[in-house]
């Protein structure tokens, strides 16, 4: 079996293909690319779906490129959006590009290690040098406007530009479409053309909302190079239970950067995912052997309450994205906060309530101090009534909201519900706080 067929077999079996022009046995892929817009400081879980086909091509020995669109981000991609993007400061765009560049660099190394752990069926063992990270500003910074228009403009038909879904949807919306957004597809098409001419790239990957932009690129390359064989491949979009795309614009992003979404939170995101989403993501977002995936899902069906699929999914995504040590930490944190064998922990000074086998107080603090849900209660706020304290710690948006939840029994410390809004948090103590479905660690030591 050829490298390409082996790769496509993996993608099809894992439901990673939404649409593609790679339909004929004679198709020949040289190099592959995926774009990433630096509109945030990190990639998010939604980006992983489009990233995984690139990973499979990389693991099958194909040279791959991730293109950070630091130049095109100045315009804003209208695909999948109902409104225009806000203009981003150049310093922010540069900082985001640097952050994503470093993230992709770390991710490429972590993925190769993870694939080996999964006994991935490599067609050809890849080298880290086969994964290149570039910025499209490197070819736009010296490109003059008239040169661009004279080289690209004659090959593009306005009727085709206006017919693309990303354009027609916005033209019919109250906010309309700016000229800058309309021309975004020309620049993405030029990216493809540049990569084809300079790096022999002839396959672009993207989410299903990128189909119009990607095929604009294949059209441009074919018009400027009549004998070119260039292809497009899109992946399904990862959506929430309500059908909303998981992305930063929707305000529900789970970031891949551990500084923005720690490993515990990333782990818990998948542990708490709906069953149908978890089963889908197990196929798409892990590199476990196909046979093992079926075994895991069959075992899960016997007793869904054990969340077997969720545990495999959470463990594998954290291992792939954050590494082995981060996974070990997330699993320890999960056991301490959610383990069925013991009540949530609570400490008074140096004496743990759980017995000698439980981690010591310094160990507990070390495990959680870098987590987003860790809260320190210092001397300036320790005497506040409990409802006000929860507002000060930004657990609730108002004291009234905190009081309502306390009186309804939705707030507990350790295993004990707190029903008094004037309760004083004990000095020299560390507790798990449950606030509805949310979990925090409060430390007044």
DSSP string, 192-218: HHHHHHHH-EEEEEEEGGGHHHHHHHH
Number of domains composing the chain: 3
pLDDT in tens, 117-176: 999 998 777 888 899 999 999 999 998 888 888 888 778 887 777 777 777 777 777 777
Q: Does the residue 8 lie in any domain?
A: yes
User: Rounded CA gap, 393 and 386, in Å?
Assistant: 10
User: Rounded CA gap, 21 and 119, in Å?
Assistant: 30
Give the CATH number for residue 299.
Answer: 1.10.240.10
User: Rounded CA gap, 307 and 23, in Å?
Assistant: 37
191 annotated to a ligand binding site: yes
Six-digit token pair at 61? 């020995």
Indicate if 350 and 333 belong to the same structural domain.
no
Q: Does the residue 406 lie in any domain?
A: yes
248 annotated to a ligand binding site: yes
Q: Which of 241, 253, 249, 288 is nearest to 119 (CA)?
A: 288
Burial class (CB in 10 A: 0-12, 13-18, 19+), 379: exposed
Q: Does the residue 247 lie in any domain?
A: no
pLDDT of residue 352: 47
Indicate if 398 and 435 belong to the same structural domain.
yes
User: Which residues of the chain have a pLDDT value below 70?
Assistant: 1, 77-85, 240-252, 339-358
Full-model pTM: 0.86
416 annotated to a ligand binding site: no
User: Rounded CA gap, 72 and 140, in Å?
Assistant: 9
Indicate if 393 and 278 belong to the same structural domain.
no
User: Rounded CA gap, 198 and 173, in Å?
Assistant: 39
Indicate if 290 and 356 belong to the same structural domain.
no
Give the CATH number for residue 351.
Answer: 3.10.290.10
Angle formed by the axes of helices 3-13 and 45-59, nearest 10°: 150
Indicate if 22 and 168 belong to the same structural domain.
yes
Indicate if 275 and 357 belong to the same structural domain.
no
Q: Does the residue 417 lie in any domain?
A: yes
Q: Does the residue 240 lie in any domain?
A: no
Domain range enclosing 28: 3-235
pLDDT in tens, 223-281: 999 999 999 999 998 876 666 666 555 556 899 999 999 999 999 999 999 999 999 99
SS3 assignment, position 346: strand
User: Rounded CA gap, 297 and 364, in Å?
Assistant: 34
User: Rounded CA gap, 206 and 18, in Å?
Assistant: 10
Query: Among residues 338, 361, 395, which one ends one of the domains?
Result: 338
Q: Does the residue 422 lie in any domain?
A: yes
pLDDT of residue 346: 66
User: Rounded CA gap, 200 and 9, in Å?
Assistant: 23
Indicate if 275 and 390 belong to the same structural domain.
no
Give the CATH number for residue 148.
Answer: 3.40.50.620
Indicate if 370 and 297 belong to the same structural domain.
no
Query: Among residues 338, 364, 390, which one ends one of the domains?
Result: 338
184 annotated to a ligand binding site: yes
Cβ-based neighbours of 397, under 8 Å, separated by 6 or more: 391
Query: Among residues 298, 319, 338, which one ends one of the domains?
Result: 338
SS3 assignment, position 363: helix
Q: Does the residue 244 lie in any domain?
A: no
Indicate if 394 and 355 belong to the same structural domain.
yes
Indicate if 39 and 94 belong to the same structural domain.
yes
Indicate if 58 and 80 belong to the same structural domain.
yes
pLDDT of residue 341: 45
User: Rounded CA gap, 264 and 278, in Å?
Assistant: 17
Q: Does the residue 359 lie in any domain?
A: yes
User: Rounded CA gap, 256 and 106, in Å?
Assistant: 11
Contact 196, 225 (CB under 8 A): yes
Indicate if 185 and 292 belong to the same structural domain.
no
């Amino acid at each position: 079996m050829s490298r390409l067929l082996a790769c496509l077999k993996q993608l099809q079996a894992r439901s990673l293909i939404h649409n593609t022009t790679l339909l004929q046995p004679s198709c020949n892929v040289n190099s592959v690319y995926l774009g990433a817009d630096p509109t945030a400081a990190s990639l998010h879980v939604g980006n992983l779906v489009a990233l995984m086909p690139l990973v499979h091509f990389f693991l099958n020995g194909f040279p791959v490129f991730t293109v950070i669109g630091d130049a095109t981000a100045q315009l804003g991609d209208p695909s999948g959006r109902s409104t225009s993007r806000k203009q981003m400061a150049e310093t922010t765009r540069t900082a985001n590009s640097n952050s994503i560049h470093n993230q992709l660099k770390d991710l490429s190394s972590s993925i190769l290690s993870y694939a080996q752990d999964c006994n991935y069926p490599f067609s050809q063992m890849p080298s880290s040098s086969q994964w290149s990270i570039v910025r499209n500003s490197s070819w736009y910074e010296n490109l003059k406007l008239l040169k661009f228009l004279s080289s690209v403009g004659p090959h593009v038909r306005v009727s085709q530009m206006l017919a693309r879904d990303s354009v027609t949807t916005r033209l019919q919306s109250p906010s309309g479409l700016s000229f800058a957004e309309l021309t975004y597809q020309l620049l993405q098409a030029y990216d493809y053309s540049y990569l084809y001419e300079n790096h022999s790239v002839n396959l672009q990957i993207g989410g299903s909302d990128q189909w119009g932009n990607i095929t604009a690129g294949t059209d441009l390359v074919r018009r400027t190079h009549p004998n070119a064989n260039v292809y497009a491949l899109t992946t399904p979009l990862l959506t929430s239970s309500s059908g909303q795309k998981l992305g930063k614009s929707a305000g529900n992003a789970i970031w891949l950067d551990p500084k923005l979404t720690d490993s515990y939170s990333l782990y818990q995101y998948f542990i708490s995912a709906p069953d149908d989403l978890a089963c889908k993501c197990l196929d798409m977002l892990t590199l476990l052997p196909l046979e093992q995936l079926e075994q895991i899902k069959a075992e899960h069906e016997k007793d869904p309450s054990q969340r077997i699929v969720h545990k495999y999914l959470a463990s594998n995504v954290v291992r792939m994205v954050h590494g082995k040590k981060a996974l070990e930490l997330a699993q320890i944190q999960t056991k301490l906060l959610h383990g069925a064998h013991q009540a949530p922990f609570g400490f008074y000074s140096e004496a743990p309530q759980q017995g000698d086998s439980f981690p010591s107080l310094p160990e507990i603090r070390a495990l959680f101090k870098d987590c987003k849900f860790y809260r320190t209660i210092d001397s300036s706020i320790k005497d506040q009534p409990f409802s006000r304290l929860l507002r000060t710690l930004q657990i609730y948006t108002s004291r009234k909201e905190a009081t309502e939840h306390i009186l309804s029994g939705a707030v507990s410390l350790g295993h004990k519900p707190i029903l008094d809004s004037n309760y004083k948090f004990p000095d020299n103590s560390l507790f798990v706080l449950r606030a509805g479905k949310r979990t925090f660690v409060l430390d007044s030591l």
